[in-house]
Chains A and B, each alone.
Chain A
Amino acid sequence: MATEPLPLQKTAAAAAVDIAPVPATSQTGRPLVRFDNVVKRYGDHVVLDGLDFSVRRGENVTLIGPSGSGKTTILRLLMTLEKVSDGVIWVDGDPLSHTRAPDGSLRPATEKHLRKARKKIGMVFQQFNLFPHMKVLQNITEAPVSVLGMGRDEAETRARELLDLVGLSGKTDAHPSQLSGGQQQRVAIARALAMQPEILLLDEVTSALDPELVAGVLELLSDIARNTDITMLCVTHEMNFARDVSETVLMFDAGRVIESGSPEKIFTDPAHERTREFLTAVL
């Protein structure tokens, strides 16, 4: 797999030059993502209950927790696929879930605001969600051309580079249905990266894959985590992967962060009984 420097390194680095070079371990400085007392309800069902956490630029965070604890909901809120019921989500110092009114107060975001704000964020889905009627190359170039206004030639050149990166240079003209699950997920990763996101959300991206295809996709994601400045939030049950790529593990239960820390700390010496129970169950 790709051991040469990744082509997207340049672009991601370019997106990051305007911020102060904060050391990766520093807790100071503005967080890139901040959940501020976020509540999410479906009817009477409270899924997230006053959630607070923040993520620094370039930090790779793994979200773990039992089924139904709200991990997917967090990513969907960040991708603006869902609306917060209460509280505010901040991205890079600006409200994501809200618009700032002229008097400085926060109003629930308009569709126009969301369309602009979500450009910094990309997502890879468990079920890939590729566009089945488009060829692989077009899947990747569609958004750069129509959203970023990139020229078609440039978009195609970049798409080919990305396909090279994900190990699928021979598949530009294939349709998604002609690819294996692992290959489809690689295309989906390339498609997300083509938008040069600052934040990449990954929701159990290997859990729909046949077991023998999982390792390749995880290896690709590790490469991306190591070699780019993209801030990754991933939900995964692959604890080795989490240990490998993330600086921080957040343990959720019932819509709250009950514990957070480095992978070594969480996996070897968790402070909470709940975390310990969960880890014994999944490891």
Chain B
Amino acid sequence: MNGFDWSAARDALPLVLEGFEVTLLATVLGTLVAAVLGLAIAIAGRAPSRFVTVPVRVVMEFIRSTPLLVQLVGAAALFTFVEPLTIGIVVLGIHYSTYTSEVYRAGIDGVPKGQWEACRALSLSPRRTWQAVILPQAVRNVLPALGNYAISMFKETPFLAVITVQEMVFEARKYGADHFAYTEAFTLAGLVFLVASYPTSLLMRKLEKRLGH
């Protein structure tokens, strides 16, 4: 085995960072989709009508029991006219919303029953009950868990390479193939992942501690 080629690594850096921008964009927007959609699913799951709750549950079960990769490839095959990055963001968001909705559900369940009853005793509308009383308390409970899902989504973005999104691992592989320097390019990508996600998870842990008390 020949040693690590530092000049190749330096050479690959701009390309890898360019890919990192796409990775970051996919993570941020994907998390946004997962956060908003997950909340909508959690609230729909509490609907009094079974015509709402049952279809929601079936779709969620379906998404959760198929691999992300299959969903990406399937969506890319179905929606050939949509840009791959957009498909990637939406599929990541939907996939993760099935998990974030559980997080929200737990957060909502964690709001004491007395809060709902106080809202009723004050005649607050359902909308105001959610908006002013339940969600502000539930979201506090779920922020750390949502952050952790954002980090795992970040680490799953390389799957987007399969549908030709030019994210970081896609770029690293391209560089590796063109210059026969896979080790350098992938090591670099791995380092960027580490540097980005480790401080974020430390931050999350801190946030968790602060909100816990």
Contact = CB atoms under 8 A, between A and B. Distances in A.
Interface string B116-129: 01101111110010
B122 A142 contact: yes
A79 B119 CA distance: 11
Contact of A123 (B121, B125, B136, B140): B121
A91 B123 CA distance: 16
Interface string B132-176: 110011001000000000000000000000000000000000000
For chain B, which range describes its interface: under 10, 10 to 19, 20 to 34, or 35 or more residues?
A: 10 to 19
B118 A147 contact: no
A4 B120 CA distance: 32
Nearest to A132: B137
A195 B123 contact: yes
Nearest to A142: B132
A189 to B, nearest CB: 12
A119 interface: yes
A80 B122 contact: no
A131 B133 contact: yes
A195 B117 CA distance: 15
B136 A122 contact: no
A204 B124 CA distance: 23
B115 interface: yes
Contacts of A80: 120
Contacts, number: 58
A143 interface: yes
Contact of A129 (B115, B123, B124): B115
Residues of A contacting B: mostly: loop
A129 B120 contact: no
A191 interface: yes
B121 A115 contact: no
A119 B121 contact: no
Given A142-B132, A146-B132, A131 B118 contact: yes
Contacts of B112: 129
B3 interface: no
29 contacts: A79-B117, A79-B120, A79-B121, A80-B120, A81-B117, A81-B120, A81-B121, A118-B120, A118-B121, A122-B122, A125-B117, A125-B121, A127-B114, A129-B112, A129-B114, A129-B115, A129-B117, A130-B118, A131-B115, A131-B118, A143-B122, A146-B125, A147-B122, A147-B124, A147-B125, A191-B122, A192-B121, A195-B122, A195-B123
Interface of B: 112, 114-115, 117-118, 120-125, 128, 132-133, 136-137, 140
Interface of A: 79-81, 115, 118-119, 121-123, 125, 127, 129-134, 142-143, 146-147, 191-192, 195
